[in-house]
Every structure is written in structure tokens, then in C-alpha cells.
Structure 1
Amino acid sequence: MENTSQWIGIDVSKATLDVYIRPIGKALKVANTESGIVDLVEQLLSYDLNIIVIEATGGLETELIIQLQAALLPVALINPRQGRDFAKATGKLAKTDAIDAQILAHFGEAMKPQILAIESESARQLSELISRRRQLVEMQTAEKNRSARARGKALLDVEEHIKHLDERLEKLNQEIEQLTQNNQQWIDKANLLKTTPGIGKVISTTLVSDLPELGQLTSKQISRLVGVAPINHDSGQHKGKRMINGGRAHVRATLYMGALVAIRHNPIIKAFYDRLVERGKPKKLAITACVHKMLVILNAMVRESKPWSAAQDNLQTT
């Protein structure tokens, strides 16, 4: 057992896992396979760990995170952009898998990222099904766009593929519904969220699955987590535009669609949007502000276990 606390960085690739243990400077490399991960977890259990930092890599990191969390090891999953920005800020311009692991370990010590919540197997399955549904919808949209330009046999093939995607989506929706109905806590939270004008089955299920922290964090924390907290860009006399960045892009995109509906049918969000536009706020920025406001209120709703109503605007949201 090491005597001092350790920060671990793991760079994930398809074939290997590069590991760096800070501050002792120990480097490891194991195969990104079930047996390789089991061996790595056994080694890491001998250390007094503060946190293990991993970058999101399109799913290549999933099995690693599952095994680390099963061993009750603290894991943080960060956006790759955060890692690269930190590397540039610390003067590390070279890029290899081993160097990236060092940077992630340093990031963990310096930035203290939030530890990833442990998901149950059913929650993980729900998240994967929702992610797959999102992929199919994107494919469906692309094929429908192609059908407007296709002719002859090509058009027949596109239409056949759209039909197949329709069938797959219907089956996926049934599987998502069945999985959700097997968990009373999910049902209660989804039903609570659906009392909000603009939040339907797909959005509520996505929030239940991909934003389990909803209702457990402050308004500022949940906004930063999703990536809808406005970031200042000021320097001296210059006052730059406030922008959003980072966070869980798919959750943000889902809430954006909900905000578009809410602007038409939700009195609180509609009034808020109208006020912003009247003050000269560009419509796209006004919609983004509505996404932020909706998220803050939804967070308060779940925390207080109260359905949406006009009174929700007055809930304590800090």
C-alpha cells in the first residue's frame, strides 16, 4: 500500500489502456480487454486513490468504467476538450497515449473533477437504448432528406431503409418503455417531469437515464454539468458575449427541443422568451436561455418532488 494519496490518469484506445499514477510517476500499459481490465483493477486496489480520470472516447471506456465502479473506485469522466485545454495551459504540447495519461492524472489533482455516479445495470441498459434510439433517429432523418433527391431504384432502396428504421424505432421504444416500467423510481421521476409543458416521454426518459444527478445538485452545478451555464468572456473594459460550452451535449440537445415546444405551450417559458426577445436578445440566444431556465426549474421540481405549475417559477433553485 502506497503511503500517499494517488491520482490516476487512464488514456483509453481500442487496443490498450495507458495508465499513469501521480505523484509516484509509475506508468502501466494493459490490453483493453476484459482480462486486461480485471488485472488493472486488481493493481489499482493496492493504492490509496483520490480519483481516476478518463476521457470519453465514444464508448471504448464503458467496460473499464463498469469494472472500476464495481470495485468502488472513484472515477471521473471528462470531455476530451477539457484534457487538451489543460495540456495546453500547462505547456504540454506533445501528444502520445502515455503523455495523455500523465495529463489526465495531473488534471485530476489540479481540477478535482466530479466523481461519476454509479449506475445500476438497468440504468446503464436504459442509457444505451436511448443512445441507440438517438442514432436511429439521426439515420432516419438523413434518409428522409435523401429521399427528396433520389430517383428510381435508389429511391426504392431509401424508402425500404426508412421503413426498416421505422420498425426498429418502434421496437426500441417498446423496449425503453418496458425497461422504464420495471423501475418505480424512474416512473415517478419521469411522470413528475412530464407535468412540464414541453417535456414528453422521450425527453423525460432521457433525463432520467442520462442525468441521474437531476434534483441532487444546486442550480449552478446542474447547469455546469449539462453545459448551459453562461461563461463570461470579459477582459478589462471589454465585455464579451456570454457563451455556453462543454457538458453533456446530448442532454442539452434534448432540452433544446423541449424548450422549442415550451416556448409555444408553456406560459412561464413563453413569457420569459418573449421578454428576452423584446429586449433585443437574438432568438437563438433567447432559446438557449430558456433551456437553462427549464433545467433549473426541473432540478428544483425533482428536488422538492413537486409537479410543474405557475408556482414552480418561485421555487428555491439554488
Structure 2
Amino acid sequence: MTFKIYIGIDISKLTLDVFIKEVQAHKKFKNDVSGFNSLLKWVKIQSKESCESMLFCFEHTGLYSLPFAQFLEENSIPFSMISALEIKRSLGITRGKNDIVDSRRIADFACRFYDRITLTKLPAKEIANLQSLLSLRGRLSVALGGFTVSRNESLKFIGKNSTPELFSSYDKMIITLKSEIKALEKAIIEIIKNNEELRRTYELITSIKGVGLIVACNLIAYTNNFTRFSNWRKFACYSGIAPFEYQSGTSVRGKSQVNSLANKQMKKLLHLAAICAIHTDTELQEYYTRRQSEGKPKMAIINIVRNKIVARVFAVVKRDTPFVDLRKYAA
């Protein structure tokens, strides 16, 4: 899609630095609703064009960019939130950095790569809420793991009787975190139950062994209920489990390996799902044992299982039928 006006915006906690490429104009606005309205009026005056012919481009900065993205979507204005790393790598060798320069570079990126840019569509409210709850649960789980390890280490080397107050505090914190995690999981389940589409998707993908509540809900959240990725291979690449060749000419012949650019949280969850599936799914268990006896490295086999799980997940969603374990019906 071609636009007449390309606008780059550098978003910070309090301000928006806006640069219009076609007229080489820059101005700073507040990062709130009043600032958004002022920004829109200023852009229209400077460009003398309608909003439909403009493309607003900015980095995905989480909570700081979300209000502005919601404002643009509510007003049906085209925009695209781009990965900061993608913009950085497109610039080549650069020197210096400030908010004005950053907004100019984002506008240049939008104009140069307009044919590669995908317009952003924010997820539905239920999925956005699901993402927030899952994100908080993930942080609490990390904290719980940290406190549990510290408590066990202290118990081993210090002893409970020497400092009972220490272990009392540890126990209270661990109990509180477990309680909060359970409350979040209950809220997550309620969101799934109250939405017919999400509930159907959840039932389909949890029919696959290894895919439980948290893995299933993260799959739904990151794929925007399986509308964000056209096939399972693209999602495997996004999750960092798709292997890529490493070779050049006749001298460089490296092994195929996964790339470090990935959603590390999803990769971790898929790893846990693969481990679970290897222990509970007869077919995958036999596959794992056979490949291991052939000399295949353990992590390489687990990565193959991760890809098999992702392929199964996308397949059951596409055909709208639960997963069937054919081994049960084998003669």
C-alpha cells in the first residue's frame, strides 16, 4: 500500500517526537489524549492531506506506545508498530542519537520500506487482557522460583533453627506468590470460558498432549487467536525453533541451527511442552528413543518435537477438529 505522507514518531514515557518526511517538519507533543489530538491537527496542517493518505510509524515500546496506537485505531488512521531492532538494522552505519534524529530515521524507514510494512491491528480486548495476565503470571513465576531456590539453599547451609525469622518470611512470600498465581490462572480461565471463539480454540489445542493451560493461552495470545501467522512454519521461526542453514561457498559448512532472534518466552514454553509430550505421547516417545539410538543430539530431537507440536496445533485449529491419536486404533 502506497501513502503520500510518511510520519515517524519516537515515543517516550512523557512525550512524542513527530517528524513528517515530506515537509521536513518536527514537533514534540505530550504522550496523552490531548497531545494526540494536537499532533493530528498539526500533521494535517503541515501536510495538507487527509489521514487516509498518511502512514504513522513508530517503535513498539510496550505500555508507552499502546495509548497512541489505540487512539489511531479508534480514529481509523493507518499505522504500523515496528520492532526497534528491525529499524536499527535497516539504517546501516550511523552515528549519534537523540529524539529528533530517531523520529527522522523512523520516517525514512517507513518511506523506504513501505512495501514491506504491515499495518498494525491491535488484538481484541479479551486477548489484550489475556496477554497482560499471562505477562504478570510469568513475572510472578520467576519470582516464586527465585524465592524457592533461595529458601532451599539457606535451609541446606544455614539451617532452619538458626534464623527462624528468615524462613518464616520465605514461607509467607512463597505462599503469597502461589496464591496470586492461582488467582491469575482463574482469571485467565474465565476470559477463555466467556469468549466462544477462544474457548473453542482452547479446547482444540489442549487435545494435543503436552499443551496445557499456560502453553495454550500463550499460543492464543501470541498468535492473536491464530490470525497473526499464516502457517505454523512462520510461528516456529518467530518462536526461535526453526533451524536455518549456515554455509557459504565451499569452505563454510556449519550445522543447521536455530536463530537467537526469537520470542524467548514462547520458546521456553514450547520446550516444556515438548518434554511433557515425550513422556506422555506414545508416538513422540518412540520417535525420541529411535532418534537418540541413531546418535541424534538430545536437544536437536527435542527441537524437532517442538516443531511437531506447533504443526499439530496449527493443524487442529485450521481443520477445526481435535487431535486424534491414531496409535490407539492401530491393529
**TM-score (structure 2 length as normaliser):** 0.81
Match of 2:60 in 1: 56
1:131 is aligned to 2:131: no
Match of 2:122 in 1: 118
Between 237-246 and 303-312, the greater mean CA deviation after superposition: 303-312
Query: Any conservation in 2 of the 1:6–1:48 contact (CA below 8 Å)?
Result: no
Query: Any conservation in 2 of the 1:269–1:294 contact (CA below 8 Å)?
Result: no
Match of 2:70 in 1: 66
Query: Any conservation in 2 of the 1:11–1:54 contact (CA below 8 Å)?
Result: yes
Query: Any conservation in 2 of the 1:129–1:176 contact (CA below 8 Å)?
Result: yes
**Aligned partner (choices 247, 255, 258) of residue 270 of structure 2:** 255
What is the deviation of 1:48?
A: 4.3
What is the deviation of 1:63?
A: 1.7
* Matched AA of 2:129: Q
1:193 is aligned to 2:197: no
**Aligned partner (choices 131, 142, 160) of residue 172 of structure 2:** 160
**Aligned partner (choices 219, 233, 241) of residue 228 of structure 1:** 241
- Indicate how the Cα distance of structure 1 residues 141 and 20 shifts in structure 2: closer, same or farther if over 3 A, else same: same
State the identity %: 21
- Indicate how the Cα distance of structure 1 residues 64 and 176 shifts in structure 2: closer, same or farther if over 3 A, else same: same
Query: Any conservation in 1 of the 2:208–2:312 contact (CA below 8 Å)?
Result: no
* Matched AA of 1:239: R
Q: 1:77 aligns to what SS in structure 2?
A: strand
State the aligned residue count. 308
- Indicate how the Cα distance of structure 1 residues 54 and 283 shifts in structure 2: closer, same or farther if over 3 A, else same: farther
- Indicate how the Cα distance of structure 1 residues 196 and 97 shifts in structure 2: closer, same or farther if over 3 A, else same: same
What is the deviation of 1:58?
A: 4.2
Query: Any conservation in 1 of the 2:5–2:53 contact (CA below 8 Å)?
Result: yes
**Aligned partner (choices 145, 148, 163) of residue 144 of structure 1:** 148
Larger Rg: 2
Match of 1:106 in 2: 108
* Matched AA of 1:25: Q
Match of 1:296 in 2: 311
**TM-score (structure 1 length as normaliser):** 0.84
What is the deviation of 1:190?
A: 0.3
Counting only pairs closer than 5 Å after superposition, residues 171-182 of structure 1 correspond to structure 2 as 171-182=183-194
Match of 1:315 in 2: none
CA distance in 2, matches of 1:28, 1:278: 65
Counting only pairs closer than 5 Å after superposition, residues 192-211 of structure 1 correspond to structure 2 as 192-211=204-223
